[in-house]
Structure formats: structure tokens, C-alpha cells
Amino acid sequence: MPRPIGRRRWAIPEGYIPAWSTGPEPQMTSHETLCLLNASDQDAHVEITAFFEGRDPCGPYRLTLPARRTRHVRLNELDDPEPLPRDTDFATVVESDQPIVVQHTRLDSRQAANALMTTLAFADE
Amino acid sequence: MPRPIGRRRWAIPEGYIPAWSTGPEPQMTSHETLCLLNASDQDAHVEITAFFEGRDPCGPYRLTLPARRTRHVRLNELDDPEPLPRDTDFATVVESDQPIVVQHTRLDSRQAANALMTTLAFADE
Amino acid sequence: MPRPIGRRRWAIPEGYIPAWSTGPEPQMTSHETLCLLNASDQDAHVEITAFFEGRDPCGPYRLTLPARRTRHVRLNELDDPEPLPRDTDFATVVESDQPIVVQHTRLDSRQAANALMTTLAFADE
Amino acid sequence: MPRPIGRRRWAIPEGYIPAWSTGPEPQMTSHETLCLLNASDQDAHVEITAFFEGRDPCGPYRLTLPARRTRHVRLNELDDPEPLPRDTDFATVVESDQPIVVQHTRLDSRQAANALMTTLAFADE
């Protein structure tokens, strides 16, 4: 019933992992998430590359997104090939061998009440 | 005067129903909403399918969106064929037999002041 | 130097004017805004129609957006042909005779700290 | 490995620099950011023009975005040819000689807890 939906190449210019948090873990830990959806019947092999202001890009961070599954990747948990720096501006490009859909969300709990933001990523045609 | 606008197939990779709330119900109950608009002169028959990280998709959740109407569907109120789990990552695909427009909003009132986020869903061409 | 950018028909499925506010007016009054940009050299004649869950659409609300100007329309201030109801779900369609760009923003100050959300509207091709 | 992704012309109808802030600088200073990503191998020359409700546009604000870099431009720090006014509605158009991706984010810390919002900008075809 699920058919593929999406694109193979996405970009998110906004990226920032807040350096501190308020409230119970893990729900209220400040985090930056890439929400990935693979509605196809084929596993998707995904590569995430991070871009910075003052240095060369790092990555790719590789993961497999199984067929008919979603995965909400917390960027503060990536550590191979290297953890992403905190309190530092970055951007990401997501590439997949199957059509997927990518949405970017941040939960920021640095102050007493959490703040949220989200947007679809930009899809290359 | 209203003409149809939109697409027949939409995806929202982000989905999460917060497990608790602060403040008066129902306005301040934490919720995840799919806002649907049918600006056409034909009723739209809509199916929502939910995707997860560790299990097969569930649904479809079926509803009729009358001609020239909007409906803001709170995902925490869906219960047929089954309620959506709380505190669990998911994603949704929305399919309609008429062109509609889909926007995703979350109100999170787990901490003392509510947080909001919204984005258009991704539309298949 | 500015060339036209945008589309002539936009939709925003999410719409809701919070019924109360906290903090100094007018900045912290809860509001729902349609941000309109006309980067062309021609004045744009704009019509906003509101859709509801349980009644027929209302409008159009008419305004002129001068050439090379932006206008951030607070929906709680519209009153011709009728004010929009508070604490009620609605959606909007924006039509223009010139290409414009439409973004939707809400500031919700019902609790002690304000919440924000924003998204581009959906553009018909 | 990085290939170009994006467009050369973007618009953001929403723009507003809050007039005050709460919390430690610079992280918690209220700000409006344009996040720019240049994933190509060519430096991008970028021009930002600001549009207002009651006066002619100002700018262009010029910057170079190096190849394979991101830059998160805080609009409250622009001062050539002139600073952008506070507590005033505006909109922006971003033009580049290379394909880039543009996302708009606001952090509003006027009340005790910060609020966030973000969206992709509108890309001309």
C-alpha cells in the first residue's frame, strides 16, 4: 500500500546544537533532529554531510533506513566519523539511494520552558 | 469562487505526541495536529497512515473532509483502527482523492510555557 | 532592481487566533499573521478567504499591497466583511493579481512566555 | 563529493528584530537569522535586499559565501549600507550568483523563556 514518496537529495541550512539543557532527560535534552521517512519497499542507504563556517565539511555519517520505516536522528548522538561540535553553526546535506522525506526539528531547553521549531528540508528536483 | 488547490499525497516525517501537559484543557493539552484544507467543491476522502521506527505502519485512519472546509485533526484523538502511542517517534503519509493542502503543527505544554512549531507537509508532484 | 518573485495563489491550512494574551501590547498580543511580499513594480490586489470546519467560507478580505512593499497582516485585525472568530480553527487562501510570496506566523502569549511558529504558505504551481 | 544544491533567488516575507532580550549574550540575544548554505565548489556572491511597509527597499547587503561553507547571518548585525530598524516589519530577498539554500530562523527572548521559529525561504524556479 505505501508507495515511495520524496527525493534523493535534501539540504538544511540551519544547524545548531544548544550547549545546555533544562528538564528531564532524554525528552527535554536540547537536541537537533533530522526526521527521515522511507515509505518505499526498499531499504534506503543514507549519508549525512555537515558543513561549517570556518572549516571543511565533515562526514559522511552513514545509516540504513529500512523500508516502510521512519527514523528521527538526533544529531547530538552522531559520533562516527566524529561528534558534531556544540554551540557551533552548521548545515547538513542528506543523500539517499531511495526517495525519502526529510524534516528538521530543534528542541531548545536552555531556558526554563522549552522552545520548538521545525521545517521541511529543501529538496533538489 | 474557491477553486481546488493542493495535491493528493503528502508526507510528514516528524511525529510525536508528548506524554504530559501543563495548563487548561483542551487548548493547552499537548497535541500534534494535521491541518487539512479542501478548497474544492468535492468532498475529499482522506487516509492517514502512520510509520514507526521499530514496527510496521498502522492505519489507514479514514475521514471525510467536506467541500470548502478545513479540519484540524488532533492525532492524539485518532483511535480507529488503534490509538497512536505516546512518547514515540512516528511519521505520517496523507492520501486524498481530491487536491488538499496539509500543514503539521505541534503544541507542547510539558513545561511551564507552551512551545509551538509548524510546517507545510511535503507534497508529491 | 527588484524583479517579481512568487505566485498568485497560496493556501495556509493552519489558522487559529488565541483567545487571550500575556505581556505588553501590541508586541505581545497573541496574533496570527500573514506576511505578504510584493517585490514587483506593480501594485498587487489581494483577496483573503477564510475556511472553517462547520460553516461556509467567509470573505474575501481585500487589500492593496503596493509595489516593492511588504505587509504583515494580523488576522485578528480584519473586520470587513466580518471579524474572524477567536478560539476557532480556520484556514486561508490568498489570491493576488501579481506574483507575491506568503508566509504564516503565530505569536501565542497565552502562557507566561510567548511561543512562535512560522512556515511558508503552499503555492499553487 | 558535495555537488551544488539550491537556487539563485529566494524570498522571506517575515522579518522582525525584537527590540529587547532576556538571558546571556550572544546566545540568548533576540535575533533574526538567514542561514545560507553553499554546497558548490564555487564561492557565491550574495546580495540581500530588505523591503518595508512604509518606505523604499534598502540594500543590497553584500557578502561572499565561500565554496562548501555555511553562514548564519544575523540580520541585527548588518550595518552596510545601514542597520535594519528594530521593532519594524520587513521582508528580504536573497540573490546569489551560485545555487544556495536559504532558511530563516528567529530566536525571541523578550520574555523569560526563549521562543524559536524557522522555515525554508521561498525559492524562485
Residue A56 has pLDDT above 70, yes or no: yes
Residue A1 has pLDDT above 70, yes or no: no
User: How far is residue C80's CA from residue C82's CA, in Å, rounded to a whole number?
Assistant: 5
Which residues of D are less than 8 Å from B119 in CB distance? Answer: 119
State the DSSP code for B68.
T
- What is the pLDDT averaged over residues D22-30? 70
Residue A57: the pLDDT is 96
Q: Contact C106/C116 with Cβ under 8 angstroms?
A: yes
- Give the neighbours of chain D: at least 3 Cβ pairs within 8 Å: A, B, C
Work out whether strand B31-38 and strand B115-120 pair parallel, antiparallel, or are unpaired: unpaired
Note the pLDDT tens digit of each residue in D31-54.
789 999 999 999 999 999 999 999
Residue C112: the pLDDT is 61
A108 → closest Cβ in D1, D101, D114: D114
User: What CATH code would you report for B7-70+85-123?
Assistant: 2.60.290.11
Question: In sequence order, what DSSP letters do the residues of B12-53 get, joined into one string?
Answer: E------S---SSTTTTS-EEEEEEEE-SSS-EEEEEEEEES
- What is the pLDDT averaged over residues A46-51? 97
Residue D25 makes CB contacts below 8 A (sequence gap 6+) with none
Which residues of B are less than 8 Å from C121 in CB distance? Answer: 120
C123 to chain D: closest CA residue? D122
Which residues of A are less than 8 Å from B90 in CB distance? Answer: 70
Which residues of A are less than 8 Å from C112 in CB distance? Answer: 113
CB–CB contact B68 C57 (8 Å): yes
Which segments in chain B show pLDDT lower than 50?
1
Residue D2 has pLDDT above 60, yes or no: no
- Give the neighbours of chain A: at least 3 Cβ pairs within 8 Å: B, C, D
Give, in order, the Cα–Cα distances in Å from C52 to each of B77, B104, C57.
20, 17, 6
Residue C29: the pLDDT is 72
Other Cβ atoms less than 10 A from the Cβ of A22: the count is 16
Residue A45: the pLDDT is 98
CB–CB contact A118 B14 (8 Å): yes
CB–CB contact A113 B117 (8 Å): no
- Cα of D119 to nearest chain B Cα, Å: 7
Question: In sequence order, what DSSP letters do the residues of A10-41 get, joined into one string?
Answer: EEE------S---SSTTTTS-EEEEEEEE-SS
> All 3 cell numbers of residue B25?
484543557
Q: Is B34 left (phi over 0), alpha (psi -120 to 50) or beta?
A: beta
pLDDT band of A87, cuts 50, 70, 90: confident
User: How far is residue C103's CA from residue B103's CA, in Å, rounded to a whole number?
Assistant: 13
CB–CB contact A5 B11 (8 Å): yes
Residue A64 has pLDDT above 60, yes or no: yes
Residue D52 makes CB contacts below 8 A (sequence gap 6+) with C69, C70, D58, D88, D89, D90
B115 to chain D: closest CA residue? D115
Residue A29: the pLDDT is 72
- What is the pLDDT averaged over residues D94-117? 84
B119 → closest Cβ in D113, D116, D119: D119
User: What CATH code would you report for A7-79+92-123?
Assistant: 2.60.290.11
Residue D65 has pLDDT above 90, yes or no: yes
A20 to chain D: closest CA residue? D27
B104 to chain C: closest CA residue? C14
Mean pLDDT by 10 residues, chain C (125 residues): 84 88 70 92 97 96 97 93 92 96 84 77 86
Note the pLDDT tens digit of each residue in A3-33.
789 999 999 999 988 776 667 777 767 778 9
CB–CB contact B124 A5 (8 Å): yes
Most D CBs within 10 Å, among A56, A61, A122, to test the D interface: A122
Question: In sequence order, what DSSP letters do the residues of C14-69 get, joined into one string?
Answer: -----S---SSTTTTS-EEEEEEEE-SSS-EEEEEEEEESSS--EEEEEEEE-TTE
CB–CB contact B113 D113 (8 Å): yes
- What is the pLDDT averaged over residues D92-112? 87
> All 3 cell numbers of residue A24?
528531564
Q: Contact B4/C92 with Cβ under 8 angstroms?
A: no
Q: Which position has the grid cell 472546509?
A: B69
Residue A2: the pLDDT is 56
D122 → closest Cβ in C71, C117, C120: C120
Residue D21: the pLDDT is 66
Do you know the residue count of chain B?
125
CB–CB contact C35 D91 (8 Å): yes
The ipTM assigned to this model is 0.90
Task: Give the CATH superfamily of C7-123.
Answer: TM1070-like (2.60.290.11)
A119 → closest Cβ in C112, C113, C119: C119
Peptide bond into C66 cis (omega under 30): no
- Cα of A32 to nearest chain D Cα, Å: 13
Which residues of A are less than 8 Å from C119 in CB distance? Answer: 119
State the DSSP code for D27.
T
Question: In sequence order, what DSSP letters do the residues of D82-118 get, joined into one string?
Answer: -PPPSS--EEEEEEEEEEEEEEEEEEE-SSSS-EEEE
> All 3 cell numbers of residue C37?
511580499
Q: Contact D11/C39 with Cβ under 8 angstroms?
A: yes
Of the candidates D101, D97, D73, which has an alpha carbon nearest to the alpha carbon of residue D15? Answer: D73
- Cα of D79 to nearest chain B Cα, Å: 31
